[in-house]
Structure 1
Amino acid sequence: MKVLTVGGAMIDTIAIIENSAIERMSLLNAGTSFLLLEDGRKTEAIDISMHCGGGAVNTAISFARLGFDCAALIKIGDDRRGEQIMASLAEEGISAQWAIRDERAPTGSSVLVSSHDRNAGVFTFRGANTLLEPEDIDERAFAVDLVYIANLSNEAARCFPLLVETARAAQARVAVNPGTRQLHAHGRAFRDALPEIGILSLNRHEAEDVLALLDHDIPDDHEPLPFPHDLHPPALAQRGFKAHGRTVAVRAFFRALVGEGVDSVVVTDGMDGAFAASQGRMIYCPAVETEVQGTAGAGDAFGSTFAGYTALGAEPDFALRAAAHNAASVLGFIDTS
């Protein structure tokens, strides 16, 4: 099966910091935490390394390693970082035919500071990723079975409707993993495209951003979700999704998206596992236990695996379990390997 990924291409610099060398402050009521660096002082790192990343690159690597024939539509600068990304695509057997060099901006780059539970804080420079424009969207690139549209940066998000339209015109199935910034700035365009999306992959925060875009008259469904007696229901099943002062039960949220025309929806919630609605069923899969070395790329591994196997016609249970295992394998590495 042929796949085209569209989205970000980055060079990630990852700094691993010993717990004792950096303070972490958690706000229990807000559910957030912060890493605190001392001003004006060098902090010793366990290791600092550089890796290729970005949504389109991460998912392309995932698809390629799963055995799919994959190409990536990305925008990179005419610089060494761009060369490193091109070399990585070649090493993984991914076609770079649709990778575009743009002299107007450098290749995107991120700095990740990873400590404590290894859920890294990220500083992001989006660079050439923001420069994707309609002229870059070549219809020939979309002659594939599946188009996976990862998070689009800033102005590039304006191309989202055209990307979906071009993919559907080529009779490709469309999988989408939008980011929070895209949903906030271009929510109406995303909402309008829902009937054309075959597979929608979200994390809990993105799902709540999507909820804010849906109609307010979603029917309530507070019937308890069925779980095996030996499995404690995850927090999301009990609290539901929350946005703009309203709460919507998990089943009702999935029904609303399926009612909008989306074939399959998956929502991940970190170590609390993932829910999916596909083929008329709703499924839950707990997270696979692993020793976390880094969280970079785990969501991309999950989304691409679920989309790939779903597009192949696999049973939803299998696609969800495979996605959970692939994400866990990425969590076991510092980078997105």
Structure 2
Amino acid sequence: MSIVVIGSLNMDLVVNVEDFPKQGETVLASDTLFVPGGKGANQALAISLLGGQVSMIGRVGQDAFGRALKENLQKNNVDVTYTYIDERRNSGLAFISVGKNGDNRIIVSPGANSLLSPEDIEALEEVIAKAKGVVLQLEIPLATVERAVEIASKHNVKVFLDPAPAQVLSRSLLSKVDFIFPNENEAMELTGVEIYDLETAKTAAAKLLEMGCQQVLLKLGAKGVLFARENYYHHFPGFEVEVVDTTAAGDAFCAGFVLSYLEHQELAGAITYANAAGALTSTRLGAQSSLPTREEVLNLLDKCKKRVVLK
């Protein structure tokens, strides 16, 4: 079973801070860590570590970061045939500060990611048509995302969208997405609904359904996930873990859900599996360096007595 991820590859520059700076304030941080990241690459690598067969479609620059990003995916069994090296821009960068409670602040410079075009996607229609599922985010041009969704929909390929960073999305696009994975901030940006508890989360999810979304998985951090479809809502609690850094936890959740759902078509089990993958990721520093293996996720599920349908 093959999965195609279309999206960003960034080198993450990560520092730890005691407190995030206020406007005009300077604070001291730890030494800088250089960690492969980018939402697309994170999700592709996470799918591979969880046992899936996955291809990465994206662009990196012709620089040391670009080579490192591509090589890191390749050594972890991600197919990088369609991860192109582009001479026009440097590789994407993400500047990440991590606070003492594991929360983060992220600024992304897209670089070569901004050059992944609708024409690139059209040239790979046959690759997309053969996939079991297509996973997308919004760190590449929106026109490219829209073309990928159109092609996947045309060939009845399942579409999974992580709407980050949040931006205005058309009903035409949303209606072709099988599952959307916003976090609280992204859901608020998309709907205008402020989320501060489960009831307001349900209000935001209902708004997303009104906007054309078919199925919503609203990520609530440590509080778990709210699933919404038509007039049905169900809250899946998270796992209690010691949080170190939440970077890529949402990406691990997305990867875990996509892989488990496509393998078994079993919703509750897929969400529980995804929650475990996201929780484990938050216990370690960095993006791709923190992603769990299939064995680690199964061990956590067994430890917490969470039963899911898995091979």
Give the TM-score normalised by structure 2.
0.83
1:80 has 2:32 as partner: no
Q: Distance in 2 between matches of 1:90 and 1:197?
A: 28
Q: Identity percentage over the alignment?
A: 21
Alignment pair present for 1:135 and 2:119: yes
Partners of 2:205 and 2:111 in 1: CA distance: 39
Coordinate RMSD, CA, aligned: 2.5
Indicate yes or no: 2:276 matched with 1:325.
Answer: yes
Counterpart mapping for 1:116-265 below 5 A: 116-137=100-121, 138-142=124-128, 143-153=130-140, 156-181=141-166, 183-184=167-168, 187-188=169-170, 191-211=171-191, 235-238=196-199, 240=200, 249=203, 252-253=206-207, 255-256=209-210, 260=212, 262=214, 264-265=215-216
Q: Do the aligned residues in 1 keep the contact of 2:205 with 2:216 (CA within 8 Å)?
A: no
Q: Which amino acid aligns with 1:140?
A: E
Answering whether residue 240 of structure 2 is matched by residue 289 of structure 1, we say yes
Tell me the residue number matched to 2:88: 104
Give me the whole-angstrom Cα distance separating, in 2, the residues matched to 1:56 and 1:13.
Answer: 17
Q: CA contact under 8 A between 2:249 and 2:278: conserved in structure 1?
A: yes
Q: Distance in 2 between matches of 1:147 and 1:35?
A: 42
Please state whether the residue corresponding to 1:74 is helix, strand or coil: strand
Q: Residues 179 and 216 of structure 2 are in contact (CA less than 8 Å); yes or no, is this contact kept in structure 1? A: yes
Question: Cα distance, 1:292 vs. partner?
Answer: 1.4
Aligned to 2:294: none
Deviation at 1:212, TM superposition (A): 5.0
Shift of 1:74: 0.8
Residue 23 of structure 1: CA displacement?
6.0
Secondary structure (helix, strand or coil) at the match of 2:175 reads helix
Deviations 1:130-182 (A, max 9, x none): 111122112132121000012233xx11222211111122331111111244x
CA contact (8 A) 1:199 1:265 kept: yes
Which ranges in structure 2 are unaligned for 5 or more consecutive residues? 291-311
Sort the Cα spacing of 1:287 and 1:54 in 2 relative to 1 into closer, same or farther, 3 A.
same
| Whole-Å separation in 2 of the counterparts to 1:322 and 1:90 | 25
Compute the displacement of 1:73 (Å): 0.5
- Determine the C-alpha separation between the residues in 1 that align with 2:270 and 2:161: 16
SS in structure 2 opposite 1:112? strand
Q: CA separation in 2, counterparts of 1:97 and 1:251? A: 37
Q: Which structure: larger Rg?
A: 1
Q: Is the Cα–Cα contact under 8 Å of residues 150 and 178 in structure 1 kept in the other structure?
A: yes
**Residues 212 and 123 of structure 1, relative CA distance in 2, 3 Å threshold:** closer
Q: Is the 1:177–1:303 Cα contact (8 Å) retained in structure 2?
A: yes
1:184-241 per-residue CA deviation (whole Å, 9 max, x = no partner) reads 3xx33xx21222111111112222233259xxxxxxxxxxxxxxxxxxxx94223x15
Query: How many Å separate the matches in 2 of 1:270 and 1:49?
Result: 24
- Asked if the contact 1:98–1:141 (Cα under 8 Å) also holds between the matched residues in 2, the reply is no
Cα displacement (A) at 1:302: 1.0
Distance 1:202 1:168 in 2: 20
Matched, 1:5 2:5: yes
Report the Cα distance in structure 1 between the residues aligned to 2:181 and 2:29, rounded to whole angstroms: 37
TM-score by length of 1: 0.77
* Alpha-carbon distance change, 114 to 197 in structure 1, aligned in 2, over 3 angstroms: same
Q: How many residues align?
A: 284
Q: Distance in 2 between matches of 1:149 and 1:35?
A: 36
Determine the C-alpha separation between the residues in 2 that align with 1:23 and 1:135: 41
User: Structure 1 residues 130 and 250 mapped into 2: Cα distance closer, same or farther (>3 Å)?
Assistant: closer
Change in 2 beyond 3 A, CA 1:120/1:141: same
Tell me the equivalent position of 2:251. 300
CA distance in structure 2 between the aligned counterparts of 1:80 and 1:276, rounded to whole angstroms? 41
**Alpha-carbon distance in 2 for matches of 1:152, 1:111:** 14
Question: CA contact under 8 A between 1:236 and 1:250: conserved in structure 2?
Answer: no
- Aligned partners of 1:237 and 1:250 also within 8 Å: no
Moved more, 195-204 or 270-279: 270-279
Measured after TM superposition, the shift of residue 254 of structure 1 is 6.1
CA–CA distance in 2 between the matches of 1:255 and 1:109? 33
- The amino acid of 2:136's aligned partner reads I
Measured in 2, the distance between the counterparts of 1:235 and 1:23 equals: 22
Q: CA deviation at 1:281?
A: 4.5
